[in-house]
Structure 1
């Protein structure tokens, strides 16, 4: 991380391509590593891919506050139709690029694998097939991504077409007393409590998902300057907010700043720790 920050400071790029986890690390580490905030580095555009999170309102707001930059959420790679959000203040889903040339998407129920109707608001696991890819083409390849499909005119740019948002992964869906929720949704609610929390959290389960024996246990990292005396009330407020927005009440434990390791790669939010841990 120190080398990355110093290289950015030296070369002064306008655009940064990184995972959301890396962007958060740069915000957190810049003051101590280079003696200045990331906003002083001159980055104007941040292009994110590799993991969910860049479309979350709390993440986008944090990037604007610290970098003063525009942030774009995108997907790409082999066997995948590239997508990217438009230049809008709010994310309205990622636009498909050249959908008539590259790949065709289908949606299936993530558990039964039954086909779902491709219509506005449909949610399911993405299945794709290569149309023009000649080297080892994919045929009904299951991505493991859970998408919400948007069809019609984009409220942000007015373009008519198909958009999608990644709301989770098949293997990280949590079922809590009939309520289905994905870690990204929990992450977005916790992010609303910055600057009292760092934004880092872990979902601690007794056994692998999807079924969760309530209450769902959340370990949430406090910000560096949040007094320990405020932790109980902060945890109670987070529990209530999740209850209001996601319709289940978790059990929140506030932990000290720095409790969780940082990584520029995909952050694993779910930990299998067993009962009593």
Structure 2
């Protein structure tokens, strides 16, 4: 299959040259773009559309989501070479940092159709959320990134963050209340194998809504342990429910992250599943 590679030079501490050198060693005439902007990526995909079967995103979840936005509801296939901070989507969809494995997948051309979703018409492919984790992402983006910096920002923010107030549409009013965070999960994990929704599936036509109430710092250590060991389950601080679509209002915060990219989104919020909207490369 014909592949085009879109490389985010700012992912993985700007260490993309090693990947590019190896790619050109294996495929001297490889078609690629080192993208400096969203406009670069958009122009490249449009230019190479008729000559490409597989678009390969080289970067983190934000890069992958940017490429996915351009090819959903089409015959084009998404592939990934993970080069981000958390690599949640690539972990869930079985892409690794072995370029030979990637090229072998491209050669075979097998694919699967998966779900995506939107938050007020903004596309998400992995996990998006509001509240505490949205605030953490906003602060994390001002650091040099990396897992250690993420933990540092998370701990500092925990002690000062106030709960968000959420009001849901009538069918889900029993969940109205104050929460540390709300997450919309298409896959199981944020990244770095932090499984916020251990039973979520990207091919079931449903989204897992995760509601977390504020707890003490010591309780947060237990929460983190269970999250990293896939053992999170409902309790007095944690609620799950599944939806295809959902409307709600967050009264006192606009801080969101979509696939790990921080942004502000104003209420009312409308979440919609897009079933089987994206083709991804598989073994």
What is the TM-score of this pair, normalised by structure 2?
0.31
* Structure with greater helix percent: 2
What is the TM-score of this pair, normalised by structure 1?
0.31
Q: Structure with the greater relative contact order (CA < 8 A, sep ≥ 6): 1 or 2?
A: 2
Between structure 1 and structure 2, the one with the greater Rg is 1
